[in-house]
Structure 1
Amino acid sequence: MSTPYRFPDYQVAGDADTTVFLLHGAYGSKDYFREEIQTLVRAGLRVVAWDAPGYGISPLPPEGLSIERLAETAACLIDREGSKTNIVLGHSMGGIITPAVYAARPDKVHGIVISATAGSFSQKSAQDQETFLAERVEPLRAGNTFRDTAGAVIDSMFAPTSRGPMVDLVREVALSTPADTFCAAITAITRYQGEPNMRNVKVPALLLAGEFDQVGRPQSMQSVQQQFMPHADFVCLPDAAHYAFAEQHALFNEQVLRFIRERVLAQA
């Protein structure tokens, strides 16, 4: 078992015996889940949203980050804040972490939702791997500021028609990511081999892709379902890209709430 990092800072909202743990991506913090938290709480759920180590007000560990230790830290959060039924909803990097959280606490995680990620860097094509790193890390190594470097990349991760306050919130929170944290997260992602943990998921699972997402490509996520999680639901959301929870908020949560009601709670 991996040693957890310092206990993360987090928010608890709502009061119910079903808790959704929200794990954000490599860009951002729990703050871009503001509307997501409200929607889930209004639907009668309890929500725990963390600032992963290095994000928001959680300090970056001196030794950097690894997916395994992030997962064990999230598992410790479930130990502390878990309820009768616990669902882990991970977006992007959070979706990579999610199957490892289940592996760390299979008795306490009753369902998982993976948003906008293929779950392991090795699932990307060689060209996608090269592009992913070149767009995100090389400009920082060349001395450019994170905001200048990340702005165009973040904009490219929204669908062409995506507009509105939720999109603006995600963009601003994503641009506030500390550069050293981001580089540590990208390093962790590229070093992690997630296939064994995906293959071993035994609880209900939902994979949510955005139609225009060039990071967690729909075809890649469907391939993950077919190869590793055939029992999982796969849904491709129209007119959305990487941040479907903000771009198509109602459709995203229609699927999340259906999954919780029909796949998780029906089996509890």
Structure 2
Amino acid sequence: MSEARFAASDGTTIAHRTFGNGPRVVTALHTLSLDGSWYARLAEALGSSYRVVCPDFRGHGGSDEGPEPMTLARLAADVVDLWEHLGIDTSVVLGVSMGGMVAQAVAASAPDRVEALVLTATGGGFAEDAREGALQRLAGVRSAPDMGALVPVTLERWFGDAAAADDLDRARDALARTSTRIHADALEAMLDVGRFGPPEPAVPTLVVGGDADVSAPPAAIDALAAKYPGSRRVSVPGPHLFALTDPAVFAAEVRAFLDEHPIADRETPR
């Protein structure tokens, strides 16, 4: 694993990690308040055929906050800036939760550079009742003095009741280090996901949900799959962050999907 930092197009310093050096590049995008280091287990589970590139979103991990508001479009631009910095022409884009929303923004803005999409434990828009709930959650975060009271409910949503103690401790520490402003800005950015439609031309898309996920329940995963015509919809065991904490089954699904869609299958190679 290697770690480095670079300057995005607006001058903000963005941290990133790379796991492996295989021929197929997967850009893996994390959820709010965590960082790219959480993809270590998934990278190992994917195997030696992959090079997994994991940026830290601005305001997260080792990345600076930057002068611009945190939006899905800005985070997507950071991903493209990272590709330019690393000399990556095209990549699979994989995102979990908020990362899946950023992945949709990347695909919509740079479809010719996306070999395939893997949208995991995420959504493609907010129905009216879900949006109202998200706005209430956002207001609660903005009014909180710190993340203290918000940590237990967030951990429950992410991990359910079967998480390993070290994962809980690690996530608890990450949440405690996150300012309520950054957490709220990320939540607010997520509300904008509905404006990003499927890329044109279409790219192969895998949509994966956990069968015990209360943050992105099966109905939300079904709706996301419907948003991407021709996508494959898969259910795997586990709560919201199954792809990070217990990725074996998920990695097998990803490998099988990508094996069916080699780089040469791109309709408009760059």
Amino acid at match of 2:133: T
Distance 1:252 1:170, change over 3 A: farther
| Compared CA separation, residues 79 and 33, structure 1 to 2 (3 A) | same
Which residue in 1 is equivalent to 2:52? 47
Structure 2, unpaired ranges of 5+: 1-8
The amino acid of 2:244's aligned partner reads A
Closer/same/farther in 2, CA of residues 25 and 4 from structure 1, 3 Å limit: farther
Does 2:77 align with 1:72? yes
Shift of 1:20: 0.7
- Which residue in 2 is equivalent to 1:205? 205
Distance 1:30 1:14 in 2: 14
Give the alignment of 1:119-138 within 5 angstroms. Answer: 119-120=124-125, 124-135=126-137, 137-138=139-140
Counterpart residue number, 2:255: 257
Given the alignment, which residue of 19, 23, 40 partners 2:29?
23
How far apart are 1:257 and its partner, in Å? 1.2
C-alpha displacement at 1:171, in angstroms?
4.7
Cα deviation for residue 202 of structure 1 reads: 0.7
Q: Relative to 1, partners in 2 of residues 1:177 and 1:255: Cα closer, same or farther, differing over 3 Å?
A: farther
Indicate conservation of the 8 Å contact 2:22/2:51, yes or no. Answer: yes
Q: How does 1:113-124 map to 2 (within 5 A)?
A: 113-120=118-125, 124=126
Alpha-carbon offset, residue 100 of structure 1? 1.6
For 1:201 and 1:209, the matched residues in 2 are separated by: 25
State the 1:141 CA deviation. Answer: 0.7
Q: CA deviation at 1:179?
A: 2.4
Deviations 1:57-91 (A, max 9, x none): 21112342111111111112122325465101111
1:152 and 2:153 matched: yes
Q: CA deviation at 1:262?
A: 1.6
Q: Check whether the contact 1:151–1:175 (CA below 8 A) recurs between aligned residues.
A: no
Matching of residue 58 in structure 1 with residue 57 in structure 2: no
CA 1:135/1:99 → structure 2, altered by over 3 Å: closer, same or farther? closer
> Is the contact between residue 26 and residue 93 of structure 1 (CA under 8 Å) also seen in structure 2?
yes
Give CA deviations for 1:7-27 in whole Å, capped at 9, x if unaligned. Answer: 521112222221111111113
Shift of 1:221: 1.6
Give the structure 1 partner of residue 94 of structure 2. 89
2:38 is the alignment partner of 1:35: no
Q: Secondary structure at the match of 1:157?
A: helix
Cα distance in 2 for partners of 1:7, 1:74 equals: 12
Aligned match for 1:110, one of 109, 115, 131: 115
The Cα of 1:5 is off from its aligned counterpart by: 6.3
> What is the one-letter code of the residue matched to 2:132?
E
The residue number in structure 2 matching 1:235 is: 234
Number of equivalences: 258
Task: Give how far 1:43 is off.
Answer: 3.4
Aligned pair in 2 of structure 1 residues 9, 158: CA closer, same or farther (>3 Å)? same
* Rounded Cα–Cα distance in structure 1 between residues aligned with 2:13 and 2:48: 28
Structure 1 CA distance for aligned equivalents of residues 69 and 89 of structure 2: 33
Structure 1 alignment gaps of length 5 or more: none
SS in 2 for 1:110: strand
Separation of aligned partners in 1, 2:10 and 2:198: 21
Q: Which amino acid aligns with 1:129?
A: R
TM-score, normalised to structure 2, is 0.84
TM-score, length of structure 1 as denominator length:
0.85
SS of equivalent residue, structure 1 residue 58 = coil
AA at the equivalent of 1:141: S
**Partner in structure 2 of residue 189 of structure 1:** 190
For the structure 1 residues 173 and 266, does the alpha-carbon distance in structure 2 shift closer, same or farther, using more than 3 Å as the test? farther
